[in-house]
Chains A and B, each alone.
Chain A
Amino acid sequence: MRRPLTRFIVLIWIACLAAACSEPWNDPHAPASTGGQTLYSGFAERPKHLDPVQSYSSNEITFTAQVYTPPLQYHYLDRPFRLIPFAATKVPEPVLLDARGVALPADADAGKVAFSVYEVRIRPGMRYQPHPAFANDERGAPRYVELDDRALAEIHELRDFSHTGTREVLAADFVYQIKRLAHPRLHSPILGLMKDYIVGLDDYTKRLKQADDALANSGRKGAWLDLRQHPLEGVEIVDDHTFRVRLKGKYPQFVYWLAMPFFAPIPHEADRFYTQPGLIARNITLDWYPVGAGPYMLTINDPNRQMVLERNPNFFGETYPRTGEAGDAAEGLLRDAGLPLPFIDRAVFALEKEGIPYWNKFLQGYYDMSGIAADAFDQAVQIGGSGQVMLTDEMREKGIQLKTAVAPSTMYMGFNMLDAVVGGESERARKLRLAIAIAIDYEEFVAIFANGRGVPAHGPIPPGIYGYRNGEAGVNRYVYDWVDGAPRRKSIETARKLLAEAGYPGGVDSATGAPLVLYLDGTARGPDDKNRLDWLRKQFARLDVSLVVRATDYNRFQEKIRKGNAQIFYWGWNADYPDPENFLFLLHGAQGKVKTQGENASNYTNAEYDALFERMKNMDNGPERQAIIDRMQEILRRDVPWIWGMHPKEYGLAHAWVHNRKPNQIANNLLKYQRIDSASRTTLRARWNRPVLWPLGLVVVFAAALSFVAWSAWLRRERRTAGLALAQER
């Protein structure tokens, strides 16, 4: 008996030693995951569109921004955000023309400008990633066109094509992509907006539709629509490396759109290749397999499991920025200045739908970066005595870095200005809105519900966006006082006084004697929402006003907003680009949700504000623009169409082996700047993930003991007589 037991113990020890020396058992990545410049991250939601004409969601642009090369990009380190060339050789300056085509000065009044012409010169020598769409046969003809079922018999994914090719990126490809915005089989989210600006795009949309219908009527439904045969008036190829875009009026924000994949080049060969019915039937489409000239190419697209970006061997090459904002050098962000990009060879994005597994794998070192979910906040971050944010000891011991930045977003509560009680321009309604704005203590909200991750808002423009004012100059004087160098929310007594002036003393309508009941519309999904809504009810109760929450699903909520049936609601906005126009337009009368289905969910209108907006939106940044923005914010603060809410603060964690990480909420093509210290990662992963084997041993011992007891009892029972068994059961 002793020898087998001794052998068993020795075997367990050998297994333990072997485990201690070998690779971690719980590594979720492929065996080679420890080596090379590979970054590991995750995605929670599978991207719907990777076609740059359709893609607009943040989970999609994570991939498209690394693959495509729009003319411009944002400087990685500089703040405020600054546009720099990417595929273009320089940031284009528009030529302004009047109605007769005569050039106007750059500071010409927007009213006089009939057209703006942007001439974009692109870098010569840029080449596309290797792709079968460019593969030619021996005669120089495209190899993979008009493929029939026999030719596609062995093709299931893009990588099944044995030949690939490439070619230079030309200005014609940028023009082709702009035309694709109007393609009748695609849904570009910016088509509506661009129709207002790009000359002839509206008409072009109709013409393409007719051409597509004609194809269908001729029995060639779904065949390739060669956009080169359909000229677009407002877009012109000047030469191989230059194109022009002609816009109606003055639209300085156009350059920001030139930094998005909507304006990246698409070669006509790819469009033709992907329009083949046999490939569409196999889900091989441009929406699934992007074709770009950027630093990376998507080599594995299996969003059920993982998506892999690999270095594009044909990338034209850029270098890491040599300058940044103050403090970047001290943080080591300029250590790689001037080195060629990208640093990372491969980026693996694994499907991770739930936050808890992602967080635990990040702590194990299997993901290089992570955000901080609410339930992991205390484990990751602690607030110091003077309010400073610090990592917990556990995080510091692991060498994890914390980066924080205020997001260019705003989360607010809106009043429906069409509502009979809280809406309208009357002084009564304004005072009611203001009383509520004072009573809702957003400082408390941020502390309780966002773990301090937010900045109470004083207007629609978030920090980091031109027009935002810091300190006393940026205070909303209607809701706050400036006391001891900091804003202090006005007292609840002030709010009650305003409420009484509005005709609701003590929360009772003085005209009817009925208690004031207000309605909040929104979506409520879980216990967190319930807590939030309970808190809101308490804020209203401080004014002796009842708040009734009309929670519904998102569809019905949107419908209420569209029809103007909501009274008070909460909503948010993330910046498309870093310009105040992108926030101030949310309250522009012409954007009224009920009137025009625009983005002004409050249906707010103010003639002076609207006029100032029209002036401001076409101006360059400068003192005059700032003065107009200040005036606009003053109007808004006085009229209170929104309770200004908060600007969320993003907390990001990264392991010590991740270098050059700086939060940048506007730019998306950030992967090329990151660098990984793979050796350090391998060492730390192995140290953190040694298998613990004693539980296995315990299970074996426990199972053996249980089996022994059961077996003994079994034998005893089997030897009993039937009579004894029956007697025992009775």
Chain B
Amino acid sequence: MWRYVVRRVLYAIPILVGVNLLTFFLFFVVNTPDDMARMQLGVKRVTPEAIEHWKAERGYDRPLMFNEGATGAGKFTDTIFFDHSVRLFAFDFGAAESDGRDIGHEIRSRMGPSLAIALPVFLVGLAAYVSFALLLVFFRATVLDTVGVVACVFAMSISGMFYIIGGQYLVGKLWNLVPISGFGEGLSAWRFLVLPVLVGLVAGFGESARWYRTIFLEEINRDYVRTARAKGLTESRVLFRHVLRNGMIPILTGVVVVIPSLFLGSLVTESFFGIPGLGSYTIDAIGAQDFAVVRSMVFLGSLLYIVGLILTDISYTLVDPRIRFE
């Protein structure tokens, strides 16, 4: 297994370089270093000297990818791309361009709030959606199943934004049960998490429950299920012992891969609920054309995604002994 993991980690390096290259390319197609300087220095009374000074201070006065003025390897290393990308691989994210704050520190301090929402939504959601899907499968071909599916389709047809605004209005404003938005320190934060977690659960309910129901329905008609029933097992035992276990592989494909990314938070939810997580950090950085933060977050996102894929592969072997690392 370790050989497989090492091989996958080595594969990840060119992928990360590629992602970095693509991010760099896309960012600088839209923004020039001059644009970035203007954005950071403000729109009023910005002199060309101030722009040049800002660029020189941050190394943006050099060529983007290829330095004709340099010699030897310097043609590639004395460039914005090389200077700003290589240190990412040592997890040195540098300082944000907008306020000069240490990006690594920001990531560490914002991971917690993101996780505080994403983790309960993920865990409770997984349990609730799988249970509900199994319940629908249990009552397949009955009125309950039809009502459940209609409810799922209805729920997934509504925009996520509607759940957020509606949830804030109903639970926070009309019923006064929890704060509409905000965040607290330590354990006092729980009051602020109730609503975004609830909204996250409800918003993901329709799509996920229907997806799991489809997976389980595919399993329910297989031979081993018929055999289990022929053995005289109860329906609940058939579902939870056999169908759930065999349905785990497609579930794991979608679930394990997102586990590492839970740290990255949600862009919209965090903005609306005032959660100081990594999602809102990323969206702020995009708005502020803060390339240092955007680059770091994209790098971190792709790295965590790769980690998620490796974990998914490992988890396959745990749930299905027929799968081997080859």
Contact = CB atoms under 8 A, between A and B. Distances in A.
Interface of A: 24-28, 30, 45-49, 56-57, 184-185, 187, 189-193, 281, 283, 285, 287-288, 302, 304-305, 350-354, 356-357, 360-361, 363-364, 366, 553, 555, 558-559, 576, 597, 599, 689-693, 695-696, 709-710, 713-714, 717-718, 720, 722, 725-726, 728-729
A184 B50 CA distance: 10
Given A189-B46, A351-B276, A714-B236, 17 more contacts: A28-B182, A45-B284, A187-B50, A189-B42, A191-B47, A283-B105, A287-B99, A305-B276, A354-B272, A356-B272, A357-B168, A357-B181, A357-B272, A357-B274, A555-B35, A597-B47, A710-B139
Interface stretch (B69-77, B206-214, B226-234): B226-234
B173 A56 contact: no
B110 interface: yes
15 contacts: A24-B176, A25-B178, A48-B99, A184-B53, A189-B42, A192-B47, A287-B99, A357-B272, A361-B181, A364-B180, A558-B38, A599-B45, A691-B176, A695-B177, A696-B177
B144 A713 contact: yes
Given A57-B42, A187-B50, A304-B110, A28 B175 contact: no
Contacts of B90: none
Given A56-B44, A57-B42, A692 B175 contact: yes
Q: Nearest 4 pairs between A and B by C-beta?
A: A304-B276, A28-B179, A192-B47, A28-B182
Interface string B29-42: 01110010011111
A555 B47 contact: no
Contact of A285 (B100, B113, B188): B100
A305 B273 CA distance: 11
Interface string B16-37: 0000000000000011100100
A360 B173 contact: yes
B176 A553 contact: no
B79 interface: no
B173 A363 contact: yes
Interface of B: 30-32, 35, 38-50, 53-54, 57, 98-102, 105, 109-110, 113, 135, 138-142, 144, 165, 168-170, 172-185, 188, 191-192, 229-230, 232, 234-236, 271-274, 276, 280-281, 284, 289
B50 A597 contact: no
A26 B179 contact: yes
Contacts of A184: 53
A305 B181 contact: no
Contacts of B181: 28, 352, 354, 357, 361
B176 A692 contact: yes
A288 B188 CA distance: 26
Contacts, number: 161
Contacts of B234: 718
A691 B144 contact: no
Contacts of B229: 722, 725-726
A360 to B, nearest CB: 5
A353 B274 contact: yes
Contacts of A599: 44-45
B138 A304 contact: no
A725 B235 contact: yes
Contacts of B178: 25-26
Nearest to B135: A710
Nearest to A728: B141
Contacts of B30: 553, 555
A722 B235 CA distance: 8
A57 B46 CA distance: 13
A28 B140 contact: no
Nearest to B228: A722
B147 to A, nearest CB: 11
Contacts of A27: 179
B40 to A, nearest CB: 7
A679 B281 CA distance: 37
A576 to B, nearest CB: 8
B216 to A, nearest CB: 14
Contacts of B57: 185
A650 B98 CA distance: 29
Given A28-B181, A350-B274, A192 B110 contact: no
A288 B165 CA distance: 33
A681 to B, nearest CB: 16
A722 to B, nearest CB: 4
A710 B137 CA distance: 13
B138 A717 contact: yes
A599 B110 CA distance: 39
A351 B183 CA distance: 9
A187 B53 contact: yes
Contact of A717 (B172, B179, B180, B235): B235
Contacts of B38: 555, 558
A688 to B, nearest CB: 8
A283 B138 CA distance: 57
A4 B182 CA distance: 38
B271 to A, nearest CB: 5
A283 B101 contact: yes
A351 B274 contact: yes
A27 B191 CA distance: 9
Nearest to B97: A48
A190 B168 CA distance: 43
B231 to A, nearest CB: 9
Nearest to A57: B42
A352 B274 contact: yes
A189 B230 CA distance: 81
B109 A283 contact: no
A107 to B, nearest CB: 29
A56 B45 CA distance: 10
B176 A690 contact: yes
Given A692-B175, A696-B177, A718-B236, A360 B45 contact: no
Most chain A CB within 10 A, of B32, B144, B181, is at: B181
A709 B30 CA distance: 58
Nearest to B102: A283
Nearest to B189: A305
Contacts of B102: 281, 283
Given A350-B274, A357-B274, A363-B173, A190 B180 contact: no
Nearest to A193: B45
Contacts of A191: 47, 50
Most chain A CB within 10 A, of B176, B178, B235, B273, is at: B176
Contacts of A691: 175-177
B194 to A, nearest CB: 10
A281 B101 CA distance: 9
Contact of B50 (A192, A353, A357): A192
Contacts of B271: 353-354
Contact of A25 (B31, B48, B177, B185): B177
A140 to B, nearest CB: 33
A283 B177 CA distance: 37
A25 B113 CA distance: 21
B180 to A, nearest CB: 5
Contacts of A28: 179-182, 192
A273 to B, nearest CB: 17
Contacts of A555: 30-32, 35, 38-39, 289
B38 to A, nearest CB: 7
B235 A718 contact: yes
